[in-house]
Amino acid sequence: MALEEYQRKRDFARTPEPAPAAGKGHRRPIFVVQEHHATRLHYDFRLEHAGVLKSWAVPKGPSLDPAEKRLAVRVEDHPVDYGDFEGLIPEGEYGAGAVRLWDRGTWWPDGDVDASLSKGTASFRLEGSKLRGGGRLVRLRARGRGEGKNWLLIKRRDEAARSADWEGVTEERPESVASGRAIDAIAEAPQRDWQSERAT
Ligand code: MN
């Protein structure tokens, strides 16, 4: 199981994030984008594959503009259950801050996922509420620190693409795809989410 790093970084007695579990997986693999108000705001872009969520932290978030190549830093695999997580990671814990489920849907890889990721170029199609159509992840050449972890997330030119003369999808559509909540409401009501998640 590729979740050792995920486990090592977190104390599941303190964080409401899901503990690592054998990924049941979905019939159609999901993608999620989580807006994460950690020390630095970023958007976590996750693709379900082989029982885990392959994950990248995107500081500026995804764009629908093919000219906007967004840095995407590869981070540790997350459990599939993380795709349902929205809430507050408490102060003092890894990644402390509010997490909003910004988008969710299904994804279709072009070709073999493992081969594409090891080759460093993976193209795909997304069908979410906010992100749709084609896109790709391209690994940047390693240069010293952060070696091999830096990728670019790029929208394909297709009918779902948008040009630069607008605000950007993260500004235009900030609401939670799961709850419709604003980020302040998520940060202020963490206990309720935690208890309801644990109760089910
Ligand atoms: Mn994050």
CA 158 → CA 116, 134, 198, distances in Å? Answer: 21, 7, 41
Percent of the residues in the chain that have a pLDDT greater than 70, as a whole number: 90
In the reported structure, the alpha carbon of residue 56 is separated from the centroid of ligand 1 by a whole-number distance in angstroms of 8
What is the pLDDT, as a whole number, of residue 14? 95
In the reported structure, the alpha carbon of residue 118 is separated from the centroid of ligand 1 by a whole-number distance in angstroms of 22
- Express each pLDDT in 70-123 by its tens digit: 999 999 999 999 999 999 999 999 999 999 999 999 999 999 999 999 999 999
Which protein residues have a CB closer than 5 Å to ligand 1 (ion)? 36, 44
The torsion angles phi and psi of 44, rounded to 5 degrees, stand at: -90, 120
For the chain, the 3-state helix, strand and coil shares in percent, each to the nearest 5, are 20, 35, 45
Structure tokens at 18: 């899901």
What is the pLDDT, as a whole number, of residue 25? 86
In the reported structure, the alpha carbon of residue 72 is separated from the centroid of ligand 1 by a whole-number distance in angstroms of 11
Q: From CA 95, how far away is CA 180, in angstroms rounded?
A: 22
Assign 169 a pLDDT band (cuts: 50, 70, 90). Answer: very high
Q: From CA 68, how far away is CA 189, in angstroms rounded?
A: 34
What is the pLDDT, as a whole number, of residue 145? 66
pTM comes to 0.91
In the reported structure, the alpha carbon of residue 38 is separated from the centroid of ligand 1 by a whole-number distance in angstroms of 7
In the reported structure, the alpha carbon of residue 67 is separated from the centroid of ligand 1 by a whole-number distance in angstroms of 24
Which among 135, 129, 137 has a CA at the least distance from the CA of 158? Answer: 135
In the reported structure, the alpha carbon of residue 162 is separated from the centroid of ligand 1 by a whole-number distance in angstroms of 26
Which among 153, 159, 155, 157 has a CA at the least distance from the CA of 121? Answer: 153
In the reported structure, the alpha carbon of residue 136 is separated from the centroid of ligand 1 by a whole-number distance in angstroms of 20
